[in-house]
Amino acid sequence: MKNSNNLRIISLTALMFSTLCGITRAADIGYHTEEVAGLQVFYREAGPKDKLTIVLLHGFPSSSHMFRDLIPELTSEFHVIAPDYPGMGQSQAPAAGNNVTFDSESIAIEQLLDKLGVKKAIFYMQDFGGPIGMRIATRHPDMVEGLIFQNIAITEDGWDPARLKVVKSNKGPETPDKRAAAESRVSMKTDLTLYQHGAANASALNPDAWTNDAFAIANPESRRVMTDLQLDIASNLELYPAWARYLADQKPKTLVVWGDNDPIFTPHAADAIGALAPGSQVQHYNSGHFALEEVHSDVAARIINLFSGTKR
């Protein structure tokens, strides 16, 4: 009985310690809004401000919430900023009648970083984050201390052919049929597919991920913005040659981390980025589109290993 009581005390102590540690780590993340071009833009911030900044740019139809597990694992080495794009996550949407594009979203994030005093940064880009981050990088190459790509193609042969065909069909003027088709993809069905398809262990995924996304998907204003962006994906294809030249000419320190079972972007897309970026590191995972749900700790270790010695 005495040994049993001792074990119980040890177990309770360990549980209390782990709980307190969790609270401490969570409390270290700040949740803020900043006015950008008249809009309230939400962002998460963590880590010492005297460290090099890493900017985490989320995918569709998610938000900075997708980095909730990664952020605490980076804060010992980096100052971390993870924004929600205008009209996504918890950021305010531009008023109806304003056509939201990847150009306008990238400018808003650039203005946010300027307001926050970020002069140099590593950009982590997933899905929608790719065309936003690459626009900022090519406009301001001196700002870039490094790039991290996760499941976003910058070559046409990195796309699933059927999805690429749909993207190309949206070129040209918007029509009611195009908009209806694009809006149909802004759905929980799409969201669940992106999380669960190809996951190494779909039953172990945290449902908080898509529950959080449901908040924005249910908001008519956010749905409008995400539909605008779905229709604007074709504009990114035209910039692929410029992005390839940027990687070849500027040679930014580059890490590619990839969920190989993504239904949209193929494993070849990761290797294509690696070939374009001299000296890059490429890591494939048995995971899906939102690979951080399963491999965030390994990704964090690779980021720290490659970039922690980078001077601010």
State how far the Cα of 60 lies from the Cα of 183, in Å rounded to an integer: 13
32 catalytically annotated: no
Q: Which residue has the tokens 């940027």?
A: 246
Q: Which residue has the tokens 């304003």?
A: 98
Distances in Å between the Cα of 7 and the Cα atoms of 2, 10, 16, 155, 305 are 9, 5, 14, 57, 38
Question: With DSSP H G I counted as helix, E B as strand and the rest as coil, what are the percentages for the chain, rounded to 5?
Answer: 50, 15, 30
Catalytic residue among 58, 65, 79, 289: 289
SS3 of residue 78 by DSSP: coil
State how far the Cα of 106 lies from the Cα of 155, in Å rounded to an integer: 20
The DSSP output letter for 93 is P
- Indicate which residues carry an active-site annotation: 289
